[in-house]
Amino acid sequence: MKIAVVGTGYVGLVAGACLAETGNDVVCADIDAGKIDRLNRGEIPIYEPGLEPMVERNLREGRLSFTTDVAAAVREAEVIFIAVGTPPGEDGSADLQHVLAVAETVGRNMPADGPEKIVITKSTVPVGTANKVRAAIRRHTDRPFHVCSNPEFLKEGAAVQDFMKPDRVVVGVESEHARARLAELYAPFVRQGNPILFMDIASAEITKYAANAMLATRISFMNTIAHLCEAVGADVGLVRQGIGTDDRIGPAFLYAGIGYGGSCFPKDVKALVHTLRETGVDPAILEGVEKVNAQQKKVLLERVTERYGEDLSGRTFAVWGLSFKPETDDMREAPSLDVVRGLVSAGARVRAHDPEARHEATRHFADLLAEGGLTLCEHNYDCLDGADALLVLTEWHAYRTPDFERIRTGLREPLVFDGRNLWDPARMAETGFEYVSIGRTPAAPAVAA
């Protein structure tokens, strides 16, 4: 099929590359000329495992191209994916101006003949958006076309795998023609038997928000349980095992930590809260999820100030991990933003490392870097020299089995604040560490008799 993907952000780039991988002729369009030039040279603006070689291969073999001519891309395509950003407004609602601008472009560039176009919202959009897209297109054309909703369920760090072998494909359609063409388009991705779930458009639009809100709820729920465990001397890891082995619950997204971040969960929970309020549905559950998460991002900072006092002047802290999760360079809404800024605001200096997010950290922390409050280190062990304590903020694989003796001797004192529960408290105590984690009894270092 001839496909246009409008928007070369995270979703658009992954979708375009994966659709080209299965033999389609894909044009990814974006108004950012600098980004398009880099993409045509095979330079990928995000870190996502497996994406760069896929883009390079499909560029080389002619199935994938990048352009700034959005109008030409939509004129030539039968299937048009709208994958532009929907940033949150001040009230939490999704900003649809970019989505509707693409719809207007589609309407203005509808050819007089050829196959009926299928216009698909791939961006995360609130219920009712398809109606607005349809109206925007119809203002400019009398030609028949089909509007669909096809929400993405991509996990950063595993997006290529998620697209190529999805748990399910959700498609909201309004016509048999669109249903048949999209069943054909997605057939290569569900050969192992996972379903394509066709439904009405409103249900598809809600599904994306409901899925992310459910996952965010599980995270905030476990963080609440973690506080209970700390209050009574229980271990949240054992509680997780006890409930996660229940088939009705399962173990996923039940890890206690310092909260969720990224481009999806915070934005989508806010947008769903806004939609619930607009429709007169009580959003109390999700308001609680947001409140818990906002508090959880400050937990490690609170632990540090409990240990050292509110004034951290003269202190230096090593930080491992800046991205909101491993296997991505994304720092949007990352807990590290709160923790690092909080430490520096209290007078401390921070030495930080992340395997992939260094360039993003340079952008997010430009002021702290310029003022000298933050130093970015090339290697994780470089952060330790002379630091009062180590804070672990992201559970990168490279941090899971480190040289503990090197950590202990590098720090001024063997103190670790682990926001991701990477290490075993008993082992840390045995090796001489004071170890503070989330939802587990703090482990004091062993004292020789």
Residues 185 and 215 occupy one common structural domain: no
- Asked whether residue 129 is assigned to any structural domain, the reply reads yes
Number of domains in the chain: 3
Residues 215 and 345 occupy one common structural domain: no
Contact 322, 331 (CB under 8 A): yes
- Asked whether residue 447 is assigned to any structural domain, the reply reads no
Q: Is 447 helix (H, G, I), strand (E, B) or coil?
A: coil
Show which of 176, 199, 222 is a domain's final residue: 199
Residues designated catalytic:
264
User: 318-338 burial by CB neighbour count: b if 16+ within 10 A, else e?
Assistant: bbbbbbbbbbbbbbbbbbbbb
Tokens of 201: 């458009």
Residues 329 and 431 occupy one common structural domain: yes
pLDDT tens readout for residues 328-366? 999 999 999 999 999 999 999 999 999 999 999 999 999
Residues 183 and 327 occupy one common structural domain: no
Show which of 295, 314, 336 is a domain's final residue: 295
Residues 255 and 178 occupy one common structural domain: no
Mean pLDDT in the chain? 95
- Asked whether residue 442 is assigned to any structural domain, the reply reads no
Show which of 147, 170, 199 is a domain's final residue: 199
Residues 82 and 108 occupy one common structural domain: yes
The string of DSSP codes covering 361-387 is: HHHHTHHHHHHTSEEE-SSGGGGTTT-
Residues 262 and 340 occupy one common structural domain: no
The string of DSSP codes covering 64-132 is: EEEES-HHHHHHH-SEEEE-----B-TTS-B--HHHHHHHHHHHHT--SSSSPEEEEE-S---TTHHHH
183/204 Cα distance (integer angstroms): 15
- pTM of the model as a whole: 0.91
Each residue's pLDDT, cut to its tens digit, for the chain (449 residues) gives: 999 999 999 999 999 999 999 999 999 999 999 999 999 988 898 899 999 999 999 999 999 999 999 999 999 999 999 999 998 887 888 899 999 999 999 999 999 888 999 999 999 999 999 999 999 999 999 999 999 999 999 999 999 999 999 999 999 999 999 999 999 999 999 999 999 999 999 999 999 999 999 999 999 999 999 999 999 999 999 999 999 999 999 999 999 999 999 988 999 999 999 999 999 999 999 999 999 999 999 999 999 999 999 999 999 999 999 999 999 999 999 999 999 999 999 999 999 999 999 999 999 999 999 999 999 999 999 999 999 999 999 999 999 999 999 999 999 999 999 999 999 999 999 999 999 999 998 766 765 44
Residues 302 and 381 occupy one common structural domain: yes
Helix (H), strand (E), coil (C) string for 418-434: ECCCCCCHHHHHHCCCE
Query: Residue 173 CB: number of other CB atoms within 10 A?
Result: 24
138/141 Cα distance (integer angstroms): 5
Q: Residue 376 is part of a domain; what is its CATH number? A: 3.40.50.720
Residues 376 and 423 occupy one common structural domain: yes
Write out the residue range of the structural domain in which residue 160 sits: 2-199
